[in-house]
Amino acid sequence: MFKQPFKNNKSSLNGLQHIQQSLHQQKTLLRLVQRSITEDLAAHCLHVTASKNTVILFTDSSVWASKLLYLRQPILNALSNYFGERVRTLKVKVLSKHTAKTPLLPKSPSSHTLKCLTEANDSEQADSLTHSMNKLIKTLQKNKLS
* Out of 8-12, 29-33, 42-46, 87-91, least confident range: 8-12
Q: Per residue in 79-128, pLDDT tens?
A: 889 888 888 889 999 987 765 567 777 778 888 888 888 888 877 777 88
β-partners of residue 47 are 58
Torsion, CA 82, CA 84, CA 86, CA 89, rounded to 10: -40
Specify the pTM: 0.57
> Same structural domain for residues 87 and 131?
no
> Same structural domain for residues 76 and 134?
no
Q: Are 56 and 49 in contact (CB under 8 A)?
A: yes
User: Which residues have C-beta within 8 Å of that of residue 32, sequence separation ≥ 6?
Assistant: 78, 79, 82
Nearest to 140 by CA among 108, 104, 107: 108
Q: Decide if 20 is inside a domain.
A: yes
> Same structural domain for residues 82 and 118?
no
The CATH number linked to 31 is 3.30.300.20
> Same structural domain for residues 21 and 88?
yes
> Same structural domain for residues 40 and 79?
yes
Q: Decide if 5 is inside a domain.
A: no
> Same structural domain for residues 45 and 115?
no
> Same structural domain for residues 84 and 133?
no
Full residue range of the structural domain in which residue 87 is found: 16-94
